[in-house]
Amino acid sequence: MAISRIASITVPVTDHDRAVSLYRDVLGFAVIRDQTTTERGREIHMTAPGGGAAIILVPASDQHRAGSTHGGALQVRDMLDAVERLAVGGIDVTITVRHLDSEAGVWAEFADHDGNAWLLWQPAERPAPELIAA
């Protein structure tokens, strides 16, 4: 078997409209499908502006606990802008790795309103000196 790519990541949420306001309005994801089915409830499929794997906002349940998604990394062009936009959206961001002259770039982490945790990554070719000086 040869896996060619990650197709989607499931993100359990308790309030779809609140989640869409974060993922679409703050992070810039686009809604590609919003559907409600009897067996699964409301599912919202979204993609980042640069493409890649989709996220699927699903109703929190015993099978999909709110806050159970962890470790996905979202690449950003400007960490300072991303942190500011998340702050305006009511989300706290923690800068976790600060490297000015390393291949690691700048890493940060945040959790959405339901506790689903994400990493933000700004590659080293565009360091964020305002954050590194802290």
CATH topology agreement for domains 7-60 and 68-134: yes
Predicted pLDDT of residue 134: 47
List of E strands, the chain: 8-13, 30-37, 41-47, 54-59, 72-75, 93-98, 106-111, 117-122
Residue 32 in contact with residue 45, Cβ under 8 Å? yes
pLDDT tens digits, the chain, 134 residues: what are they? Answer: 888 888 999 999 999 999 999 999 999 999 999 999 888 899 999 999 888 899 999 999 999 999 999 999 999 988 889 999 999 999 999 876 655 556 678 889 999 999 999 999 888 775 455 554 44
Domain ranges of the chain: 7-60, 68-134
Pick the CATH number of 7-60 from 3.30.70.1450, 3.40.50.12780, 3.30.465.10, 3.10.180.10: 3.10.180.10
According to the model, what pLDDT value does residue 40 have? 85
Query: Considering only the top CATH level, what class is 68-134?
Result: alpha beta
Report how far residue 42's alpha carbon sits from residue 58's, in angstroms, rounded to the nearest whole number: 6
pLDDT at 104: 74
Q: Is 28 left (phi over 0), alpha (psi -120 to 50) or beta?
A: left
